[in-house]
Structure 1
Amino acid sequence: MRKPFLIGAASIAIGMAIALASLSGTPARADANGAKLSLAKSLAAFEIGNISAARNNALDAVKADNGWGLAHAVLARTYLALGDGVPAEAELDRARAAGFDVARAHQLYAHAFLLQGDTKRALSEAAKAPPKFAGYAVRVGARALAADGDLPAAQKALAAVLAASPDNSFAWSDLGRVRYQTGDIAGAIQAAVKAIALDPANLEALTLRGELVRGQYGLIAALPWFEAALKKDYYYHPALIEYAATLGDVGRYADMLGATRRALATRPDSAQALYLQAVLAARAGQYDLSRTLMQRTNGALDSLPGALLLGGTLDYQAGGYEQAIAKWRELVGRQPMNITARRLLGAALLRSGDAPGALDMLRPIALRGDADSYTLTLVARAFERTNQRDWAGKFLDRAAFPARDKSAPFGIDDSAAVLGNLANEDPADPTRRVGYLRGLVDAGNTGEALVAAQALVRLAPGAPAAYLALGDTFAATARYAEAAEAYRRAADIRFDEPTMLRAVDALDRSGQRPAAANVLALFLSQNPQSIAAQRLAAHWQIAAGEFDAAIETLEGLRGRVGNRDAALLTELAFAYLGDNDAATGLAYAKAAYRIAPLNPATTDAYGWALYQTGANGQAAQLLEKAVSIAPEHAMLRWHLGQIYTDLGRASDARTQIAAALGDPTFEDRDAAAAVLKTLG
């Protein structure tokens, strides 16, 4: 339930306005009644959460009587609620010039300064607020502390507000936002839920809840929360931005564009809306338009990770390699575990002639057991440029193989001792502790890593990263069932793509394929545009004989990623072959082999497709090549054994099929045993 205007944390300025109105009487203007009516409408709209309507009515009040300080103060408060600090400060100045008591506006000025990014001035101004408005002032100060990175002090300040006023909905939503910043997702969820329960018209809380639900349950589940905020205020800018971004990730691009246009209608210079339109244009290949839209942001978002990634991409596409390198280097400096940024920067450095720089940048990715073939090829080319051809050959060999190892923690360059010292410098920082235990895992100290991971969970039980670290440690020791349970607990808080992939892998490796399939299906139902999830779903569809479904999934992916992905084309080949369309399967297999002729998977697909069309001799040659590249791969030997059987080479067929059956993970055991029996 909302507090009365006079003491409500969201509406203190409006309470001020009413109190002053009772003292100062009505405006001394011929149109005083019109101004009073408009201001009353503004207050009523603000109370039910329609902040945009409150702003518009306050504007009408100001137009009706520009000399009424109270109307300017109320208009300033609506701007603050909409997150627009510049016009809020201007209106406060006008209110003061018209006689509004500045002593009653310190917390409002502080809020305006905060929204403009001036945290020091915000803190200074908030400290001047009289006791009557201390709750609002402390909230602004807490948000300023959080913006400066002092999250513990911010939480302490908000705890003091809530101790004095436990029903303060906006203090709860502020606390939720700060907890979100600390990684305490469970705590953030609790605070946001509490804020909404206290005041269903708290748009900040509804928007925060949408962001949290997006991570906790998925994109589709988040949309109703943003829509709930927008039902109360159709033009509420913060919700529109989050709504548009989520619609884009879902693939509803027309709706995304509509939401950004609404945001620009209420705030024509909205850098966030322009950025999202630039992203949309870039996805459609309209790079000039995307570049123009980014220029219109006037650099307001240039320091944000997404803008750095997009800006570098646009520079690179236009041939501005040095500019792209500078942007991506800054991004990697802030997010050293951002694999996409590292890969892009490594490629750009290699193209610019800095092969050693490319190696330094790509090394942490290449150290992963599941490193992709593109990255491995880049590393090989970089070694070639530095005349280290022996190392180049090793990485080219790795690039030719399909990734067979599970996803490992990000490659750690620092020693466990160095990472341990960093963690000890700030024992309360979960991020440093995660780095330390990952260093222990990489160094093979899994026992010590497990103790550290369990301690991390106790330290930060609301942080999904803690459970992921625990799961990674269990997985490193092949304790997959326990890893799956740790990942489940992480997913209960934040169900994003990395968590899903870990959970699915652990469940599958622990013999829980149906549970793994359910996790994957749930994730896809909420995140239908996830390329990684769609790839995995298609692979399992092929394994289950659901070839029509696999073709639909894979063709949709091909339309998005193009025709140069050998792994995707290989899967398409097998899907069409399984669907008895040998001609199409052969075309895809041939295309995949042309891209990656040393990859045993593409070689196998091409050979198997030829076999399906009756070209047994050529098929045998290709399968022999595939087996020579990956002799431990049971499925390759099984395919070759079948071809040898049809060619009448019984002895060779027995050898290959027996080798396949010797692998305990080989799944076509019954069929292989039956063929082997016929061979005598």
Structure 2
Amino acid sequence: MLKPVKATIGTLLASGAAIVSAALFTLAATVPASADAGTARLSLARSLAMLKTGNISAARNHAQAAIKQDPNWGLAHAVLARAFLALGDGIGAEAELDRAKAAGFDAKRAQQLYAHAYLLQGDAKRAATTAATAEPRFAGYAIRVGARALAAQGDLPGAQRALSNLLSAAPGDSAAWSDLGRVRYNSGDVAGAIDAATKAGELDPANLEALTLRGELVRTQYGLVAALPWFEAALARDAYYHPALIEYASTLGDAGRYGDMLDATRRALASRPDSAQAFYLQAVLAARAGNYDLARTLMQRTGGTLSGLPGALLLEGTLDYQAGGYEQAINKWRELVARQPMNITARRLLGAAMLRSGDAQGALDVLRPVALRFDADSYTLTLVARAFERTGERDWAGKYLDRAAFPVRDASVPFGTDDSLTVLGGLANDNPDDPVRRMVFLRALVDAGENGQALDQAQALTRLSPGAPAAWLAVGDMQMVLKRYGEAAAAYRRAADIRFDEPTMLRTVDALDRAGHRPEASNVLALFLSQNPQNIAGQRLAAHWQLASGEFDAAIETLEGLRQRVGNRDAALLTELAYAYLGDDDDATGLSYAKAAYRLAPLNPVVTDAYGWALYQSGNNGAAAQLFEKAVAIAPEHAMLRWHLGQVYAELGRGADARGQIDAALSDPSFEDRDAAAALLKTLA
């Protein structure tokens, strides 16, 4: 913890940038030792002016010019260190501070700067210790560094308290507000982070950290496209501000603007030639383009500095797997799953790699938490089935193959827990202000079927953390379990107001649709896609609704775009393409897609039905009837399958059989083609 200090309020609590600028301007009156004193002073004055206006890269360049003109001027080295700190370069800052000290700069004036440098280098403990030795006049800066050090060590509440105390005494400290916004964001309080970042920007429009954070928050709150102007605003002040360039490039890539993404990474490398983040983003871009050799080369240039980050682990594992290095991929994905145990994509990849390497039991252990979910995807279920086949348990393999073939998945549920309700409830009660423990207890209640109590816990979470979207999502999820779709939609809207990402969008759309508000659900989907045009889940849902509304040309365009991105091994995608082309009266193309889907998933009743429907549209009623019969045998409760079988029976002159299938379809209240079915039934009477 920082030592208590005493000083005047103006000196004590000024922001870090203001403290350094004021101190350095005061010292600028000291004439440098070289013959180029006037030129060096002019360069340093320009550097300080650029710091104030937010053009940090220019400030760095002018400070470097001052040092070139007078290498032994300690003040110039200190100003350059300040610029490096603002650019996030802790190593460069420490080196310049050492040079400043060697040239006679008072070390007592630099402790808060050294602390910041250590923090940027990842040494949070040393940063906190050093910050505690800062002089009273620099205490505001030191408190900020100490708070960020607490956050880096996982003490987010402590960091928030320190910053809140600082801001209660100095509410005009823009840098402290942006630091508070970052801490709140990392703790899940998105609404609180937005408030803090907004305040920081209002107090100092040149606060590049605040502008960049606002971009990240807008990206979370509204979407990719809406975030771009915020990063561009930061870059308008400093075209080579590295943190904004990295976030800008990442956002451009996710929005599908790959050329602009590449340009941004190149600017980032011009700003920082050894930028691991820029090389990583270029590697992602190369991998997306299928140039895996280039992606590997670029990842090697990161120097391993990002190896522990989830995105890097996922990419490196993918590159290893693509090259046949299954053990290396397994090691990386295993580490990713250990860090993010609820990352379904990582578990799926790890399970597939382990199965391919011959470790069927290991694959089962990894995939079990996903496969036990009611909404488990068919690929995961198929992997589990193949793993059971490898272990000789063919009865279990058959059960999971049956689940993989079934066309409908239930609503999602959270992963379970091995602790008892009593233990988890006690932990939650012992720490009523800990949202993490409340969430774990909530999940345990869901697993135990105690849905009423789970809803109470979820609602308590919203009172505890009203700015956390996860709390509102939990309320919505419980309302969905209780089939209160309108209430669920309202809770999801609250979450979407804070964080409008893919999971929130899908939940909101589903709840609105189930509540009978399809137009509103369509608007939510359209808004999401306007901000996230490359999102695969959103594009899939849009195509599905285009098919349902008879917009076959639009569906074909959407689905073909998806096929170019995900390939030709997605049976569900190929099935929807078949229906789209059949609806557009292109029976030959529809049949080819239906046949391709059937080759991939011959036990899936929806895929089988689509192939039968394509044959039926082509006039091959006999073959169509066989496929419809197979589909109904697999999923006898699916009304649409029976309706299709009834139609082909009618065409074949099997009136009694047709009536039986149509009656079965009409007995399902959710069956939508009731008028057409009733009309055909009358002709068969």
TM-score (norm 1): 0.97
* 1:535 matched residue in structure 2: 540
Unpaired runs of at least 5, structure 1: none
SS in 2 for 1:11: helix
Kindly provide the amino acid, as one letter, of the partner of residue 187 in structure 2.
T
Query: 1:269 is paired with a residue of what secondary structure?
Result: coil
Query: How many Å apart are 1:413 and its aligned residue?
Result: 5.1
SS in 2 for 1:234: coil
Q: Using the TM superposition, name which of 121-130 and 409-418 deviates more.
A: 409-418
> Partner of 2:619: helix, strand, or coil?
coil
- 1:105 alignment partner, SS class: helix
Q: Which amino acid aligns with 1:10?
A: A
Conserved in 1, the CA contact under 8 Å of 2:63 and 2:76? Answer: yes
Name the CA distance, whole Å, in 1 between partners of 2:488 and 2:377.
Answer: 24
* Residue matched to 1:16: 23
Would you say 1:33 and 2:38 are equivalent positions? yes
- Aligned length in residues: 676
607, 614, 620: which one aligns with 2:612? 607
Cross-structure match for 1:407: 412
SS in 1 for 2:17: coil
Structure 1 residue 412: Cα displacement: 4.6
Question: Any idea what the Cα deviations from partners look like across 1:625-673, whole Å, max 9, x if unmatched?
Answer: 1111111111111111111222222221111111111111111111212
User: Is the contact made by 2:74 and 2:99 (CA closer than 8 Å) also made in structure 1?
Assistant: yes
**Distance (whole Å) between structure 1 residues aligned to residue 260 and residue 268 of structure 2:** 12
Residues 216, 496 of structure 1: 8 Å contact kept: yes
How far apart are 1:449 and its partner, in Å?
A: 0.6
Is the CA contact (8 Å cut-off) linking 1:368 and 1:411 kept in structure 2? no
Distance in 2, Cα, partners of 1:534 & 1:415: 41
**Post-superposition offset of 1:110:** 0.6
1:314-366: CA deviations, max 9, x gaps? 12222222221111111111111100000011111212222222111111111
After TM superposition, the structure 1 = structure 2 runs for residues 465-544 of structure 1, keeping only pairs within 5 Å, are: 465-544=470-549
- Taking the aligned partners of 2:278 and 2:481, their CA distance within structure 1 comes to 43
Matches of 1:502 and 1:414, distance apart in 2: 28
Contact 2:492 2:507 in 1 (8 A): yes
Is it true that 1:60 corresponds to 2:79 in the alignment? no
User: Aligned partners of 1:63, 1:6: CA distance in 2, in Å?
Assistant: 34
Between the aligned partners of 1:322 and 1:35, the Cα distance in structure 2 is 57
- The aligned residue for residue 284 of structure 1 is 289
What is the distance in 2 between the residues matched to 1:271 and 1:490? 34
CA distance in structure 2 between the aligned counterparts of 1:6 and 1:194, rounded to whole angstroms: 17
The equivalent of 2:647 in structure 1 is 642
1:407-456 deviation line (CA, Å, top 9, x unaligned): 33335555444544554564433233222212211221101111111111
Deviates more, 1:650-659 or 1:462-471: 650-659
What amino acid does structure 2 have at the position aligned with 1:653? Answer: A
State whether residues 441 and 476 of structure 1, in contact with CA within 8 Å, keep that contact through their aligned partners in structure 2. no
Aligned with residue 243 of structure 1, among 240, 248, 255: 248
Q: CA deviation at 1:10?
A: 2.2
The CA deviation string for residues 492-545 of structure 1, in whole angstroms up to 9 with x for no partner, is 100111111111111111111111111111111111111111111101100000
Contact 1:5–1:12, Cα closer than 8 Å, also in 2: no
Q: Which residue of 1 aligns with 2:7?
A: none
Hey, what's the Cα distance between the residues in 1 that align with 2:259 and 2:555? Answer: 27
Contact 1:364 1:413 in 2 (8 A): no
Superposed CA offset, 1:3-43 (max 9, x none): 99994432322211111123x2x223221111111111111
- Paired residue type of 1:633: H
State the match for 2:399 in structure 1.
394
Cα distance in 2 for residues equivalent to 1:296 and 1:228: 30
Contact 1:419 1:436 in 2 (8 A): yes
- Give 1:81-96 correspondences, 5 Å limit: 81-96=86-101
Secondary structure of 2:16's partner?
coil
- In the alignment, what sits opposite 2:216? 211
Partner of 2:28, secondary structure, is helix
State the 1:578 CA deviation. Answer: 0.5
The equivalent residue for 1:134 is 139
Q: Which residue of structure 2 aligns with residue 262 of structure 1?
A: 267
1:220, distance to aligned residue in structure 2 (A): 0.6
- Cα–Cα, structure 1 residues 554 and 380, in superposed 2: closer, same or farther, change >3 Å? same
Stretch of structure 1 that moved more, 544-553 or 345-354 = 345-354
Match of 1:252 in 2: 257
Would the alpha carbon gap of residues 673 and 431 (structure 1) be closer, same or farther in structure 2, given more than 3 Å must change?
Answer: same
Deviation digits for residues 178-205 of structure 1 (CA, Å, limit 9, x no counterpart)? 0011111110010001101111111000
Select 1:587's aligned residue among 573, 592, 611.
592
Structure 1 Cα separation of the partners of residues 396 and 305 of structure 2: 44
SS at match of 2:663: helix
- Opposite residue 341 of structure 1, the aligned amino acid is A
Measured on the aligned residues, the alpha-carbon RMSD in Å equals: 1.6
Q: Which runs of 5+ in 2 are unaligned?
A: 1-9
